[in-house]
């Protein structure tokens, strides 16, 4: 906010309220404050612009100031009018209250606060009522010397105190409640006053300004409004103290908004059970019964706009919208139905909650014409990046409302509710369950930013702060990491997931950067959702271990290793990196040089090159780890003949195996992040590699996911050789770089240099590849990849052996028979039936990563009559080489395999 704006707002507020004492002591502000274009006004600015908060409340009667000795005197210094003028070297003056603190006899032993480090531990004898009142004021912790002069001063991080003081708020009902009358409730324990602005519609001025009442036990403020105000809109005026600003009057939407007007300007009043918001057939819709347990899941990750914006068979007004999924005869919906018939169980939608980074009205899609390495698309996209209609949506604004840019009319809060429900119905009718990609680890903005919500209602509570009191941003820059370890942040997340599960019939959830959330919270959410839904609600997420919470610094995280045994799935990077090469965030060197099994030139005579042989063997073993469900205690005979538990197999200094049961591993070779598999192979395979070979390698990559124990996860279009013209991070790259062609005519490779931000350092490499016409697949190549994918997905659907539920089953039934150790070019995967599935044919799956045909004699195969899987024998459009070239020679116990192929044999045990 510019200085002249601050002056204007202060003057405006003074005129409307009159001069003198603080707002809290006055009557309601003028209703015109509900209608100003600015949404924040400073009533009483502070003279000291400090914002540091280097001390912590540990409870309602104890504080810690890390790094400080307890020599000297400590005081809590308070001013209700934000009038403190404190400087080091001065004595304390101008305070309303000066509260001496005493050193604690022993430091508090609480693992939650280990991260703070040691320091001065201080106690106060304040009552709960007194402390609640203090926390609404300007409150600093001050240390003085023997001469009563200030040595240091700081604000205090207060979430732990608020969680103790307002513990009963954990069961409060928040947001709009519409019954005979209308009630608005918001948790704001540090607010001095709150009012509700009520609007008749999305644009008319407020007609009512209702003072809200605080429940001192819970910190919840309520407005009781006569009548059913459904279809109307509201905002809050919250008077709060903000460090570095002063006493501020924030006009802000409801964190529990169930819907909004366009661009999230006003919250929408609704009862989600209202008949007017329920599409015909909603209550009686059939829910696909394809998933009984996590390993039954085959997930297709899809962006709402990607699905239809490029589909001419969808009516123009619905392209890129929720309603596109209701076009039952569109190319896209026919395509999704085909996937469902082949065994895809879930569509996981990239963020569909309200996000901050797309104009919901009047967004403009640039007109682009570019090919090869032309910079035209890059330039056009850069000009429109902040005004076009595209973003992945990992920028949460309101967690509980559907996104308005996907609605036919974002100004009408009812439309997004109804139309998202219609999307869910349409996918259920197509035989597909619906999953949501949820992002609770950060919000798009924090502090006093106009698109910050949580921090403008309870400053300093909902976001995780560092040792200086600044908002952590390890998950997203310049976003703000949420502090899900705090009671009411955790409640907001749990309540939000409950709403999506119950009000929208969501079947499963994928958590973005789940490792930044506590394991305890995830387990409580799992229990709550399963109980409320009366069915298992599958939870999977990114269990990456990094940032300020890494290695359990603040709490036991919901990360890969710690979630073992929880029944919550985490994405496994073990097999992914072994197959693709490299990892997340490739450097210029690793982009082309760090290869995996899908793009590595294998050694021909490995015994003559022991280093290459060892590397290839390790890649094969990591791939086997994925195929075996990434189980920590799975006993693997490695490619060099040794026996190891997967927890003792190295993956970049971590255990290759970490899961207790196979459903806790989510297997994938491609998702929305980073390069597509086709694009990374463009960069890592020799330029002269022909397109047919690239097709076979793509199929191999997809096959490893299909035949791995655990959850199978696919990025939309990966089975269509999807390209983003080498874009490494297409989150804000517009429709041009994110298109999918359901007609299977093109994969959009070579459609211009991708946006500069995440790609420009690779331009020299990219330009050469994008100009190569041999790297553009034909329609027949795309169709062949698609057909082969459906064949293999059908095999997964048909065999219970690819959905094993326990580690005991996997250890007993899954093995990797070795042939001679001279070879490091293939994997033999044997999955046997057991006494509980004697009618189930055993599977013998071969992955040949060699460019040559090979003959394999696996050791220790059970006595069986092996034959090619019937799907290989009947395929019309998939990999036709399999039934022509793959053979089993019973007399020699030998299998012949085509180059770069995945081949499945089946057998019944001999009687």
Give the Cα-Cα-Cα angle 336, 342, 345 (nearest 5 degrees): 65
Tokens representing 270 are: 């609704």
Rounded to the nearest 10°, the torsion over CA 273, 276, 281, 283 is 10
For residue 208, the SS3 value is: strand
The DSSP secondary structure of 788-832, one letter per residue, reads: HHHHHHHHHHH-GGGS--SHHHHHHHEE-----TT--SEEEEEE-
Q: What is the pLDDT of residue 815?
A: 96
Give the Cα separation of 765 and 236 in Å (integer): 52
pLDDT tens, residue by residue, 496-514:
999 999 999 999 999 999 9
With a pLDDT cut of 90, the percent of the chain lying above it is 89
DSSP string, 398-438: EEEEE-GGGSS-TTSHHHHHHHHHHHHHHHHHTT-EEEEEE
Query: What CA–CA distance (Å, rounded) separates 556 from 469?
Result: 22
Find how far residue 188's CA is from the centre of its chain: 27
Inter-residue contact 56 to 160 (CB < 8 Å): yes
Are the C-beta atoms of 58 and 113 separated by less than 8 Å?
yes
Mean pLDDT value across residues 808-827: 87
Average confidence (pLDDT) over 684-701 = 97
pLDDT for 611: 87
Domains of the chain in start order, with CATH, are: 3-38+172-277 (2.60.40.10), 55-165 (2.60.40.1130), 453-483 (no CATH), 813-911 (2.60.40.1180)
pLDDT digits (tens, 9 = 90+) for 663-690: 999 999 999 999 999 999 999 999 999 9
Bridge partner list, 78: 97, 139
Query: What's the Cα-to-Cα distance from 63 to each of 57, 74, 123, 331, rounded to whole Å?
Result: 4, 11, 6, 62
Give the whole-angstrom CA distance, residue 478 versus residue 497: 25
Residue with tokens 């308070």: 78
Count Cα atoms within 13 angstroms, Cβ side, for 551: 3
Chain CA centroid to CA 699, Å: 27
The whole-angstrom separation of Cα 747 and Cα 727 is 13
Residue 837 confidence (pLDDT): 63
d(CA 89, CA 508): 58
Is the per-residue pLDDT at 594 higher than 70?
A: yes
Query: Taking residues 629-650, what's their average pLDDT?
Result: 94
Q: At 81, is the pLDDT very low, low, confident or very high (cuts 50, 70, 90)? A: very high
Instruction: Dihedral sign for Cα 734, 738, 743, 744, please.
Output: positive
Please state, as a whole number, how many other Cβ atoms lie within 10 Å of the Cβ of residue 658.
Answer: 25
Strand partners, 103: 122
Contact predicate 403/437, CB 8 Å: no
The residues facing 139 across adjacent strands are 78
Structural contact between residues 574 and 625, judged by C-beta atoms closer than 8 angstroms: yes
CB 732 within 8 A of CB 350: no
Biggest alpha carbon–alpha carbon distance for the chain:
100
CB 459 within 8 A of CB 372: no
The gap from C-alpha 496 to its chain's centroid, in whole angstroms, comes to: 14
Distance of CA 460 to the CA centre of its chain: 23
Closest to 458 (Cα-Cα) out of 225, 254, 234: 254
Of 9-18, 160-169, 273-282, where does mean pLDDT reach its minimum? 9-18
Q: Residue 319 is encoded by which pair of tokens?
A: 């392209």
pTM equals: 0.95
Is residue 289 exposed (0-12), middle (13-18) or buried (19+ Cβ within 10 Å)?
exposed
| pLDDT score at 14 | 37
Which candidate, 235, 248, 253, 250, places its Cα nearest to that of 197?
Answer: 235
Structure confidence at residue 27 as a pLDDT band (50, 70, 90): low
Separation between Cα atoms, residue 223 and residue 205, nearest integer Å: 19
- Band of the pLDDT at 588, cuts 50, 70, 90? confident
Nearest residue to 440 via CA among 401, 379, 490: 490
Identify the band that residue 8 occupies on the pLDDT scale cut at 50, 70 and 90.
very low
Instruction: Cite the active site residues.
Output: 512, 542
DSSP H or E run through 577: helix 573-580
The span from the CA of 264 to the CA of 256, in Å, is: 12
Please calculate the CA angle 40-42-45 and round it to the nearest 5 degrees: 150
Q: What is the pLDDT of residue 589?
A: 83
End-to-end CA separation in angstroms for the chain: 81
Least confident of 130-139, 274-283, 626-635, 867-876: 867-876
Rounded distance, CA 521 to CA 558, Å? 8
Cis peptide leading into 93, omega within 30 of 0? no
Cα separation of 181 and 224, whole Å? 7
Output the pLDDT for position 876. 82
Q: Which residue has the tokens 């590595």?
A: 600
Q: CA-to-CA distance for 404 and 355, rounded, in angstroms?
A: 9
Residue 897 has pLDDT above 60, yes or no: yes
Residue 192 CB neighbours (<10 A): 21
Cβ contact 405:389 at 8 Å: yes
Contact status, residue 464 vs residue 455, Cβ threshold 8 Å: no
Predicted pLDDT at 836 = 65
Q: Which of 57, 213, 204 is nearest to 140 (CA)?
A: 57
**Dist. CA 591–CA 583, nearest whole Å:** 9
Average of per-residue pLDDT across 732-756: 97
Query: What tokens appear for 648 in the block?
Result: 């003792």
Degrees, nearest 5: CA angle 299-402-454: 110
| Tens digits of residue pLDDT in 542-573 | 999 999 999 999 999 999 999 999 999 999 99
Q: What is the pLDDT of residue 2?
A: 33
CA distance 829 to 818: 9
Question: Smallest Cα–Cα separation from 630: which of 654, 614, 597?
Answer: 654
Residue 827 and residue 376: Cα distance in Å, rounded?
45
- Total Cβ atoms within 10 A of residue 167: 13
Letter string b/e over residues 227-263, b meaning 16 or more CB atoms within 10 A of that residue's CB: eebbbbbbbbbbbbbbbebbbbbbbbbbbbbbbbbbb
The chain-wide mean pLDDT, for the chain, equals 94
Q: In this structure, are residues 443 and 472 in contact, taking their beta carbons and an 8 Å threshold?
A: no
Task: Identify the H or E element spanning 611.
Answer: helix 610-627
Residue 81 tokens read as: 């009018």
Question: 745: closest CA among 769, 715, 721?
Answer: 721
User: Shortest CA distance to 194 belongs to which of 339, 323, 364, 23?
Assistant: 23
Tell me if the bond preceding 154 is cis, omega within 30° of 0: no
pLDDT in tens, 32-76: 999 999 999 999 999 989 999 999 999 999 999 999 998 999 999
For the chain, how are helix, strand and coil distributed in percent, rounded to 5? 30, 20, 45
d(C-alpha 471, C-alpha 454), whole Å: 13
DSSP, collapsed to helix, strand or coil, labels residue 880 as: coil
Q: Is 23 or 568 the better-scoring residue by pLDDT?
A: 568
List the beta bridge partners of residue 456: none
* Cβ atoms of 132 and 161 closer than 8 Å: no
Residues 390, 380: contact at Cβ < 8 Å? no
If one compares 589 and 825, the residue with the highest pLDDT of the two is: 825
More confident residue, 864 or 693: 693
Q: Kindly report the CA angle at 697 between 696 and 699, in degrees rounded to 5?
A: 65
């Amino acid at each position: 906010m510019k200085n002249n704006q601050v002056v204007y707002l202060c003057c405006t507020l003074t005129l409307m309220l009159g001069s003198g004492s603080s707002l809290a002591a006055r009557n309601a502000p003028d209703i015109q404050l509900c209608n100003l274009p600015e949404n924040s006004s400073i009533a009483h600015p502070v003279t000291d612009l400090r914002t540091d908060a280097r001390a912590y409340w540990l409870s309602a009667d104890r504080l810690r100031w890390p790094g400080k000795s307890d020599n000297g005197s400590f005081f809590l210094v308070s001013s209700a009018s934000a009038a403190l003028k404190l400087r080091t070297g001065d004595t304390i003056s101008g305070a309303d209250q000066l509260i001496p603190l005493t050193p604690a006899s022993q430091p508090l032993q609480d693992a939650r606060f280990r991260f703070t480090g040691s320091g001065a531990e201080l106690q106060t004898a304040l009552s709960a009522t007194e402390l609640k009142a203090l926390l609404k004021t300007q409150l600093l912790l001050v240390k003085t010397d023997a001469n009563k002069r200030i040595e240091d001063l700081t604000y205090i991080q207060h979430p732990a105190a608020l969680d103790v003081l307002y513990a009963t708020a954990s069961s409060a009902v928040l947001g709009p409640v519409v019954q005979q009358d209308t009630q608005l409730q918001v948790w704001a324990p540090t607010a001095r006053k709150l009012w509700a602005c009520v609007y008749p519609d999305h644009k008319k001025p407020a007609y009512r300004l209702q003072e809200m009442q605080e429940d001192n036990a819970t910190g919840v403020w309520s407005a009781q409004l006569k009548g059913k105000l459904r279809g109307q809109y509201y905002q809050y005026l919250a008077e709060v103290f903000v460090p570095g600003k002063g006493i501020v009057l924030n006009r802000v939407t409801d964190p529990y908004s169930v819907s909004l007007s366009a661009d999230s300007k006003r919250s929408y009043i609704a009862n989600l059970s209202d008949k007017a918001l329920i599409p015909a057939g909603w209550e009686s819709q059939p829910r696909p019964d394809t998933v009984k347990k996590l390993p039954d899941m085959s997930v297709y990750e899809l962006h709402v706009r990607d699905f239809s914006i490029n589909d001419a068979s969808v009516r123009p007004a619905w392209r890129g919208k929720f309603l596109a999924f209701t076009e039952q005869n569109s190319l896209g919906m026919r395509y999704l139905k085909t996937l469902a018939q082949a065994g895809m169980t879930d569509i996981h939608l990239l963020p569909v909650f309200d996000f901050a980074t797309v104009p919901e009205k009047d967004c403009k899609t640039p007109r682009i014409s570019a090919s090869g390495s032309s910079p035209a698309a890059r330039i056009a996209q850069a000009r429109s990046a902040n005004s076009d209609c595209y973003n992945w949506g990992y920028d949460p604004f309101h967690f509980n409302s559907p996104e308005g840019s996907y609605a036919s009319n974002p100004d009408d809060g009812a439309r997004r509710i109804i139309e998202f429900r219609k999307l869910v119905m349409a996918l259920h009718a197509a035989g597909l369950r619906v999953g949501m990609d949820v992002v609770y680890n950060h919000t798009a903005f924090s502090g006093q930013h106009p698109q910050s919500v949580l921090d403008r209602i309870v400053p300093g509570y909902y976001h995780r702060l560092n040792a200086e009191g600044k908002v952590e941003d390890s998950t997203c820059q310049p976003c703000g990491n949420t502090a899900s370890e705090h009671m009411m942040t955790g409640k907001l997340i749990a309540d939000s997931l409950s709403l999506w599960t119950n009000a929208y019939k969501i079947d499963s959830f994928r958590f973005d950067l789940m490792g930044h959330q506590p394991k305890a919270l995830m387990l409580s959410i799992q229990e709550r959702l399963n109980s409320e839904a009366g069915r298992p609600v599958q939870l999977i997420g990114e269990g990456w271990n990094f940032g300020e919470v890494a290695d359990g610094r603040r709490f036991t995280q919901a990360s890969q290793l710690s979630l073992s045994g929880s029944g919550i799935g985490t994405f496994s990077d073990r097999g992914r990196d072994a197959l693709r090469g490299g990892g997340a965030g490739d450097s210029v060197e690793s982009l082309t040089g760090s290869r995996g099994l899908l793009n590595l030139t294998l050694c021909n005579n490995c015994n003559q090159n022991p280093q290459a042989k060892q590397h290839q063997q390790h890649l094969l073993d990591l791939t086997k780890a994925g195929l075996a469900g990434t189980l920590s205690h799975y006993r693997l005979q490695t490619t060099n003949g040794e026996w190891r538990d997967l927890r003792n197999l190295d993956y970049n200094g971590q255990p290759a195996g970490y899961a207790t049961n196979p459903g806790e591993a989510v297997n994938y070779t491609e998702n929305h992040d980073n390069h597509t598999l086709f694009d990374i192979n463009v960069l890592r395979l020799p330029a002269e590699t022909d397109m047919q070979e690239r097709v076979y390698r793509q199929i191999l990559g997809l096959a490893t996911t299909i035949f791995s124990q655990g959850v199978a996860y696919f990025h939309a279009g990966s089975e269509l050789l999807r390209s983003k013209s080498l874009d490494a991070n297409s989150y804000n790259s517009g429709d041009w770089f994110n298109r999918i062609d359901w007609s299977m005519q093109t994969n959009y490779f070579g459609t211009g240099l991708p946006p500069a931000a995440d790609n420009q350092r690779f331009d020299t490499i990219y330009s050469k590849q994008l100009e190569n016409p041999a790297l553009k697949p034909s329609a027949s190549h795309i169709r062949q990849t698609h057909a082969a994918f459906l064949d293999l997905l059908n095999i997964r659907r048909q065999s219970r052996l690819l959905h094993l539920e326990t580690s005991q089953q996997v250890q007993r039934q899954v093995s990797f028979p070795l042939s001679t150790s001279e070879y490091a070019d293939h994997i033999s995967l044997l999955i046997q039936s057991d006494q509980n599935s004697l009618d189930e044919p055993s599977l013998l799956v071969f992955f040949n990563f060699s460019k040559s045909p090979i003959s394999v004699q696996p050791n220790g195969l059970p006595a069986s009559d092996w034959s090619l899987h019937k799907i290989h024998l009947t395929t019309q459009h998939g990999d036709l080489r399999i039934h022509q070239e793959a053979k089993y020679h019973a007399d020699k116990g030998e299998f012949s395999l085509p180059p770069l192929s995945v081949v499945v044999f089946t057998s019944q045990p001999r009687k």
